[in-house]
Amino acid sequence: MSINQGDAYLRIDHVSKSFGTFEALTNVTLEIYAGEFVCFLGPSGCGKTTLLRAIAGLDIQTSGRIFQGGRDISALPPSQRDFGIVFQSYALFPNLSVADNVAYGLVSTRRPKAEVEGRVRELLTLVGLGGQEQKFPSQLSGGQQQRVALARALAMSPGLLLLDEPLSALDARVRQHLRSELKELQRKLKVTTIMVTHDQEEALAIADRIVVMNHGVIEQVGTPLDIYRHPGSAFVADFVGHMNFLPVERVAADRVRFGSFEFTAPVNGNQDATATLCVRPEDIQIRNVIPGQDNSLKATIDHMEFLGSFCRAELVVNGGRHLKADFSINAMRDLSLEPGQEILIALPADRLRLFRGDAHV
């Protein structure tokens, strides 16, 4: 799939939103392209929902402008914008049947009855609920209700689909299933979609691009792989996936010291004397590490946590610092790893990230 990199479909330009003295959004600027699936990701209170509601016009921003398809929609009420929306609570009308819920917007447009019915059937088939037209929302499961909400949001063929934590109220299995269906549907319809979520796994799995937010500002925008591999800040590194943080001192442009160990580390602009070194648990190497190899160090296994397909070991290095490392079940068996054992590990230089010394932990 390729995305048109020409003009942005949705342009958010220096948007700020304050509630009294609290600033929920500070100077947010972002461009979203037609057909893209973008996730706003961040912890609760980071401003992701506020930004979504500003785009919908439900809570209009204090300052800054928003353009959709070239039109300035900054001050328009929601009814004059072009979007469909799905909420975490589904917000289905409980006294209307599934068909009436989906047809709700279509009926006001005074289309012929047969056309409305045809469209409703088509939409329900699309979300996999064909034949359930006459049921009431309370007779459906949570996952089915969310599908109805999705069909209703898509009924008017909106240019923009807004999803506010649509999967959070569902249990884990249904959530995963619906997640892939949602992505499939979006790819088929090519509707520009923004989904708000606090679940990084969900965002990584579904998004074309992820917008990581914290404290009302955008921390990083990028593809899932980009965000995961090259987190732009210590916050992103910590929030997306698991991460170890080690305080280090710089000894050369690309060399840092951690206690008695010295590593080769990437040069990412920062030349401070102290820095924070980041490495993901799954990037810690245990097989085929030769004594004296670059970036190798001795570690003691403190304890291990069995997590199904792999094991997360808590290692102690340099006489006290803890480090998490993920080892495959194979490696565990082959090396017969046990708590208390002393092992040799390596931190591959191309998997390390350096951030400011005072950053985090």
Restricting to residues 30-69, which ones interact with another protein according to CB under 8 A?
30-31, 33, 56-58, 60-65
C-alpha separations of 3 from 160, 187, 191, 207, 286 in Å: 15, 11, 12, 13, 40
**How far apart (Å, rounded) are the C-alpha atoms in residues 232 and 220?**
6
**How far apart (Å, rounded) are the C-alpha atoms in residues 249 and 256?**
5
Cβ atoms within 10 Å of 79's Cβ, excluding its own = 6
Q: Do 135 and 145 contact (CB within 8 A), yes or no?
A: no
Which of residues 67 and 261 has its CB atom nearest to another protein in the complex? 67
Which of residues 55 and 323 has its CB atom nearest to another protein in the complex? 55
Number of residues that bind another protein (CB under 8 A): 63
Question: Does residue number 288 form part of the binding site for another protein (CB under 8 A)?
Answer: no
Restricting to residues 190-249, which ones interact with another protein according to CB under 8 A?
208-209, 218, 220-226
Distance of CA 341 to the CA centre of its chain: 37
Residue with tokens 């893209």: 36
Which range in 3-11, 39-47, 283-291, 337-345 contacts another protein by CB under 8 A?
3-11
Sheet holding 217-222, edge to edge: 84-86, 160-164, 192-197, 37-41, 209-214, 217-222
Q: Mask of contacts with another protein, 108-147, x by CB under 8 A?
A: xx--------------------------xxxx--------
Which range in 82-90, 115-123, 181-189, 249-257 contacts another protein by CB under 8 A?
82-90
Binding site for another protein (CB under 8 A): 1-3, 5, 8, 14, 16, 26-27, 29-31, 33, 56-58, 60-65, 74-81, 83-85, 87, 89, 91, 93-96, 104-105, 108-109, 136-139, 152-153, 155-156, 158, 208-209, 218, 220-226
